[in-house]
């Protein structure tokens, strides 16, 4: 998956999750966005609960305490009544170097 070994892939996904939480929208390749989408949805589901245990579950993936705080206290409360599907992918074109499809990944408003 994503032509990387396990440790590199996990680091890439954690980095993309952190960038998405920090700016609430990122532009990346379609394959990377589809790979990270399930992880982000799982983290938001945990963060919606707001308990200490669920916050620690989020901290397993997101190491930065400020990002965990932002996810649990700012982003997740927006989705209290939403059953799932917290992110959207918007196709933006193709990358000039290798013609890879690019998408903008953002949280649903």
Is 47 domain-assigned?
yes
Structural domain including 80 reads 6-107
Count of domains observed in the chain: 1
* pLDDT (0 to 100) of residue 109: 86
Reading the block at residue 39, the tokens are 């992880």
Q: Is residue 59 part of a domain?
A: yes
- Using CB atoms within 10 Å of the CB of residue 28, give its burial: 0 to 12 exposed, 13 to 18 middle, 19+ buried: buried
CATH at 30? 3.90.1030.10
Q: For 44, what's the count of Cα atoms within 13 Å in the CB-facing half-sphere?
A: 26
pLDDT digits (tens, 9 = 90+) for 96-108: 999 999 999 999 9
For residue range 57-106, what is the model confidence (pLDDT) as tens digits? 999 999 999 999 999 999 999 999 999 999 999 999 999 999 999 999 99
Q: Is residue 1 part of a domain?
A: no
| Secondary structure class of 27 (helix, strand, coil) | strand
């Amino acid at each position: 998956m994503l032509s990387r070994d396990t440790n590199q892939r996990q680091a890439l996904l954690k980095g993309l999750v952190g960038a998405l939480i920090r700016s609430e929208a990122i532009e990346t390749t379609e394959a990377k966005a589809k790979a990270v989408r399930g992880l982000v949805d799982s983290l938001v589901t945990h963060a919606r609960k707001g308990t200490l245990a669920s916050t620690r579950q989020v901290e397993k993936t997101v190491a930065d305490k400020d990002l965990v705080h932002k996810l649990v206290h700012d982003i997740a409360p927006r989705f209290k009544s939403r059953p799932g599907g917290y992110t959207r992918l918007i196709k933006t074109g193709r990358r000039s170097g290798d013609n890879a499809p690019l998408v903008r990944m953002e949280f649903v408003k």
